[in-house]
Amino acid sequence: MPFQELFNQIEKLRPQMVNTLMRLIRIPAIGPENGGDGELKKAELLKEILQDLGFHDIDQYEAEDQRVPSGKRPNLIAYYRGKADSPKLWIVTHLDVVPAEENQWTITKPFEPTLKDGKVYGRGTSDNGQSMVSSIFAIQALKQLAIKPKRTVALAFVADEEHGSNHGIQNLIKKNLFSKRDLVIVPDSGEPNGAFIEVSEKSILWFKVVTKGKQTHASIPNTGLNAHRVGMQFSLALDDLLHKKYNKKDKHFNVPISTFEPTRKDKNVEAVNIVPGEDVVYFDCRILPQYDIKEVLSDIKETAEAFEQKSGATISTEIIQTQQAPAAVDAKSEVVTLLKKAIKTARGLDAKVGGIGGGTCAAFFRKAGIPAVVWSTVEEVAHQPDEYSKVQNMVDDAKVFAVLSVM
């Protein structure tokens, strides 16, 4: 079919797309792990937006979570029924966002979105608001032109992606909503040129290190045991060990090595003149698939035991999240082939395939034997201060999703 009319219709929707993105970004859908109330308010607004746009075939699935005020984490699925019931085309985006340190933002406050120089600034614009809006208005354009998709398109908006997806996509997969014949697109990563399709991810390991010594006055440190010093020394030694031992390179991946990053640091003492009796640090590790996470965990345990004997401190580790990388999607599979064709048709780009370190919902589909790929056109600004989305990327990606829907 000729696509120019469809592309023109999407271009007309540009102002509405920007407005919708800004409305959604104003709601800080932060998970309870980071002190937030979850996604319910954002999901309620999204459902209202979808209904105002004429989406009336909407299902809502809730996962119980007593850590949030509502006691539930919402997941929405909006359908646009096609000529055939199966297989479906799924476009999966997530509602939740990470926190933001407001004092590091210079363009705007994190949840006060601002349009400037063709970019919408705000927390969650890139991760994952841009793609959420692109998927919605791709279908909206098809509806306005009365174009029926080849297969039913299901837009899934899920909770809890930033912290393991137990209340989000994992919960939906357990409900047997998906078929191994379905086509699944997760637009939650990509490159600025829009020509990269992710078919594999690294293994993920997040863990917490708690070092316990003895608190005392800083003027008489000999009467205590500085947990902060021991914790720093242990973290640096562990960082060095893991990078040296697991040092293989794989050019298939964007960032071709395993990464072991000390990230979050919990507050220890209230005053400068107190030697801390406890120190807490967290690591985020993205490990190439050829390595076994169990071996990494064994090395962490052995290093902790050695430091305990040397320092006299107690060092314990707690796993926050772990997932061994599932098998990659075949680069010749139907979902990859059709997405390549849609990108070429809508954007004139010849897409390549590869892997990433970031964890997305696609990994859980792959683990369940459902081919899922990750694609979008994004700048590498997720989780950063002054996060933004380029409006042109949002519009162009909507064109790809619309083309894919009718192929």
**Is 96 assigned a catalytic role?**
yes
Question: How far is it, in rounded angstroms, from Cα 361 to Cα 354?
Answer: 16
Question: How far is it, in rounded angstroms, from Cα 370 to Cα 393?
Answer: 27
169 forms beta bridges with: none
Question: How far is it, in rounded angstroms, from Cα 130 to Cα 113?
Answer: 13
Token pair of 182, please?
């379905």
Angle at 254 between CA 253 and CA 255, to 5 degrees: 95
Question: How far is it, in rounded angstroms, from Cα 166 to Cα 169?
Answer: 7
Q: Which of 127, 160, 161, 284 is catalytic?
A: 161
* Cα atoms found within 13 Å of the Cα of residue 200, Cβ hemisphere only: 25
DSSP for residue 128: I
Asked whether 133 and 93 are in contact (CB, 8 A), the reply is: no
**Residue with the two structure tokens 């314990």:** 316
**Is 57 assigned a catalytic role?**
no
Question: In this structure, what are the phi and psi dihedrals at residue 303, rounded to the nearest 5 degrees?
Answer: -65, -40
* Other Cβ atoms within 10 Å of 4 Cβ, number: 7
Question: In this structure, what are the phi and psi dihedrals at residue 296, rounded to the nearest 5 degrees?
Answer: -60, -45
* Catalytic residue list: 96, 161
